[in-house]
Amino acid sequence: DAKTTQPNSMESNEEEPVHLPCNHSTISGTDYIHWYRQLPSQGPEYVIHGLTSNVNNRMASLAIAEDRKSSTLILHRATLRDAAVYYCILSNNYGGATNKLIFGTGTLLAVQP
Amino acid sequence: EPEVTQTPSHQVTQMGQEVILRCVPISNHLYFYWYRQILGQKVEFLVSFYNNEISEKSEIFDDQFSVERPDGSNFTLKIRSTKLEDSAMYFCASSEYLNTEAFFGQGTRLTVV
């Protein structure tokens, strides 16, 4: 399973943008880049995913480097509710009927009021 | 918004007893998963399920574990003879297609005493 590297923790101020980096230098051509987050005492929650192009949705934006060896999750205006562990995960079904997610330790985002 | 529902939210069981954890995935989803998270540790993949059969399982998912989709709506995880080390939060997830977002339930906290 392709590996990702994220900072252990980051801090942000409320209502400011947050850029969460992820390195995935061994990514293969068919690996999708997924971001999930886990709020305290809750199950993981999907944030965004992409393959090659940058992606935007109501929660966040995903910027993918041209060589795909890194990506950045962008929260445009952090709120206190965004305090969570953010996971960057590479997933590929490799032709099989599964898209298992291999979670690392993620980045613990603290948001200060 | 559709959601994955898990019951019970908390189960306490004696070592050696069988437990069944229940999940109701989102109704039009085709791919189903179980994950677990031991307190303070990473979320770990257990098993994926598609078309009424296991598509992939991890090393954790040994002969003590089984999954079933008994009636087309429920998705269950059975642990035949629980051990102390099975104490964890168990999350069910489902997705409509491959390489799309996975929806996670709120989890069942299993405590083995």
Question: Which chain B residue has its CA at the smallest distance from A46's CA?
Answer: B101
Q: What is the pLDDT of residue A19?
A: 98
Per-residue model confidence as pLDDT tens digits over B28-70: 999 999 999 999 999 999 999 999 999 999 999 999 999 999 8
Residue with tokens 């480097």: A65
Above 70 in pLDDT, residue A100?
yes
> A112 forms bridges with which residues in the sheet?
A13
Q: What is the b/e burial string over A86-99, where b = at least 16 CB atoms within 10 angstroms of the residue's CB?
A: bbbbbbbbeeebbb
CB-CB under 8 Å, B45 with A102? yes
Above 80 in pLDDT, residue A1?
no
Best of A3, A35, A98 to disrupt the B interface (most B CBs within 10 Å) is A98
Question: Which chain A residue has its CA at the smallest distance from B37's CA?
Answer: A43
**For residue A7, is the peptide bond before it cis, meaning its omega torsion is within 30 degrees of 0?**
no
Query: Are the CB atoms for B12 and B113 separated by under 8 Å?
Result: yes
Instruction: Round to whole Å and give the CA distance between B41 and B88.
Output: 10
Question: Which chain A residue has its CA at the smallest distance from B105's CA?
Answer: A43
Best of B89, B98, B108 to disrupt the A interface (most A CBs within 10 Å) is B98
CB-CB under 8 Å, A100 with B45? yes
